[in-house]
Structure 1
Amino acid sequence: MQPTTSSAGRLCLPMLFVLAGTLAPTLVSAQSSSRSPPQATPPEATQPSDPPRTLPRSPKERGRGLDFLFGALKAAPDEASARHVESRILTLWSQTSSDTISLLMQRVKTATDAKQSDVALKLLDAVLKLRPEYIEGWSRRATLHYVRNDYQRSLEDIEQVLIREPRHFGALAGLGVIMQELGDDKRALDAFRKALAVNPHLERVRELVKTLTEKVEGRDI
């Protein structure tokens, strides 16, 4: 199906959807007519400690690392710090101890870059069959379904991401994007607010929350 582009523009399902072009630096378009929204200047905060330099190996260590990074993300005093922390979170989400999964994901990227979405989807199906707990596999597949305008399957994959990581602000923002394009502004607003609660450094999402709040709840008198 061909969606109707909302007033916000056709935004890519952020960080959920790309390792190097998601909400981390900007919300980018899934189409060639992309728009690069501005980034927020975070509120004043105490300078967080530097994130761990080495990547955790066990799920327990990874969980502790993510807890630390999400705390650092909320406390980041400036855009550069926030982007750095977002990058670390992305790295942890995409990390895998399986050489097979790493190889398949490399092939997914190659196929995606070559606009061979059918091939990429088959590869991601294999990834998720082997490692259903792998968040990045679900997020990449959600991206491809979205680009192909298959919103139902994209939403199903977003749900799987959020089951495994409720703090996945890219998935939350992506959910908001789809809901807005489907005309469900109330659910879009709820998803965008949840994304901001996790990551307050999403200027474009903040703008969408303001616009949708006025539309859904009306202006304050």
Structure 2
Amino acid sequence: MALLAPALLAGVAGAQTTGPSSGSPLAGNPSVPALESERSRRLDELFSRLKDASDPRIARVIDREISLILARSGSDTVDLLMARAAQAFQRQDHDLSLSLLDAVVDLYPDYVEGWSRRATIYFARKEYGRAVADIEQVLRREPRHYGALAGLGMILQQLGDERQALVVFRKALEINPHLERIPEVIRRLQPKVDGTAL
């Protein structure tokens, strides 16, 4: 964790909120450049609308659409593995879920949600170093992934790094001002951080 967090947090603090930094599910497939371009354009539009949305109901609709786009792998095999991993996770069979997600990230390393789901399982198992490593992979591919940023903030809180947690939560809220519970977490952390020496 100590080796991963500083570089990752530096990237979060300076990350731009427009456009993915790397590949996506369809990246590297020369037969679908138009689909990839349309996907990127649509995500840019949705993230912009989400940030500017004044109605929480509209924000929830946009949030769902972003989630659906990010969930699309472009591969029937990956979709099947993801579905089985989700079922295993619901049964609390974390070992099986991790094995399936290992296969997903091996087969499709540019698929953001493979890394994101695996990070969630590592978090549930309190394997925070591994969760952070997977979140780093998510944010390299999609720095606007506010769910991954919120997860990173929770891990930092668990590890007692409230100052960096506050930075990350603020970044997540900047991308999606409609995140539930995060504003309250920020309000609780702010006085603690203000009283902490640099």
Settle same-fold status: TM greater than 0.5. Answer: yes
Partner of 2:35: 58
Q: How many residues matched?
A: 163
In structure 2, the residue matched to 1:165 is: 142
Distance 1:203 1:154, change over 3 A: same
Residue identity matched to 2:64: S
Matched, 1:123 2:100: yes
1:144 aligned residue: 121
State the distance in 2 between where 1:179 and 1:109 align. 25
Q: Which residue of 2 aligns with 1:18?
A: none
Q: CA deviation at 1:77?
A: 2.0
Distance 1:203 1:120, change over 3 A: closer
Counterpart amino acid of residue 151 in structure 1: Y
Which residue is equivalent to 1:3?
none
Alignment of 1:78-89 (within 5 A): 78-89=55-66
Task: Please report how far the alpha carbon of residue 203 of structure 1 lies from its aligned counterpart in structure 2 after TM superposition.
Answer: 3.9
Instruction: Name structure 2 gaps, 5 residues minimum.
Output: 1-32
Structure with the largest fraction of helix: 2
CA apart distance, 1:57:
7.3
> After the TM superposition, which parts of structure 1 deviate over 4 Å for at least 4 consecutive aligned residues?
none
Give the letter for the 2:176 counterpart. N
1:112 deviation in Å? 1.1
| TM-score normalised by length of structure 2 | 0.79
- Mapping of residues 1-221 of structure 1, within 5 Å: 58-218=35-195
Tell me the distance in 1 between the aligned counterparts of 2:77 and 2:107. Answer: 9
Task: State the alpha-carbon separation in 2 of the partners of residues 164 and 193 from structure 1.
Answer: 20
